[in-house]
Amino acid sequence: MSLVTFGRIMIISVASGKGGTGKTTVAVNLAFSLKEKVQFFDCDVEEPNAFIFLSPEIKKTFPVEVSVPEIDYDKCNFCGKCADICYYNSLAVIKPRLGNPGKIMVFENICHDCGACSAVCPVNAITEKKRTIGKIDLASVKEIECLQGVINPKEILTPAVIRQEKRFIDKTKTVIIDAPPGTTCPVVAAVNNSDFCLLVTEPTPFGLNDLGLAVEMLKDMDIPSGVVINRSGLGNNCVHDFCEKNNIPILMEIPFERRIAELYSRGIAMVEAIPEYKEKFSDLFRKIKTIVNKKN
């Protein structure tokens, strides 16, 4: 039974707040457990790991490009408006003096590709050239279409890579998005416009602290959520208490088990080695659908 919302099937993002709680674990195992046509997005573009577990065959790779300003010195009058308007301090104007021709310094790696400088230039001296900051791999395994975005080390435009990756979303499929850790702009870019966000946490004070931040972020974004407690049993009840107090549904608990950790360390998804988990993840999906249905 498929659910159609806003002219698309469903987009489920998997986030956490705290790093290392098991987002990729849950996202991958969920993808492997569904009968639906699935499209998997690894949006942790700084440190993508899902392909380790999916082991998909890469079919095509696209560069992720952004534009940076290029100055035509025949037209430039060194008025400085470009540097003034740039919110990111990516431009510095060195006016001509004492026989030195003057220069507009462009700090390409902090340019955010917003277009303000070329828009403000009164003499049309700014055009744009493309720069590659990462790549998107398109792949597949079993019936699952998999994508990963990978930002080049030292580049900072993480949200730009995520946004370009998400352009490949196929609305006829069940989309699962593996988000980065944290609660700020990369995660916002990854979970934005999803129908549901699954929050994976660990039952410790660190897990709780960051879960609270993630819940706040999702409330602001008006995205319904539910919690998966990973490594349950290793810690205390603070997360359970928090969820109960705040009416946040706990949709699944994965107990702390050394064998699961070992499988993970070897790059093996738990549903592949422990088949009982397939039903548990299918169940998780059913619960998510119920919540999304109710909201609509």
Q: How far is the CB of 77 from another protein (least distance, A)?
A: 19
- Count CA atoms closer than 13 A to 183's CA, side-chain side: 19
Binding residues among 252-271 for another protein as defined by CB under 8 A: 261-262, 264-267
| Residue 274 touching another protein (CB under 8 A) | no
Q: How far is the CB of 36 from another protein (least distance, A)?
A: 26
Binding residues among 201-240 for another protein as defined by CB under 8 A: 202, 204-206, 209-210, 213-214, 216-217, 220-221, 234-236
* Contact pattern for another protein over residues 89 through 128, marking x by CB under 8 A: -----------------------xxxxx--xx--------
CB nearer another protein, residue 37 or residue 224: 224
Which residues contribute to the site for another protein (CB under 8 A)?
17-21, 24, 44, 46-47, 49, 52, 85, 87-88, 112-116, 119-120, 151, 153-154, 156, 158-159, 163, 180-189, 192, 202, 204-206, 209-210, 213-214, 216-217, 220-221, 234-236, 261-262, 264-267
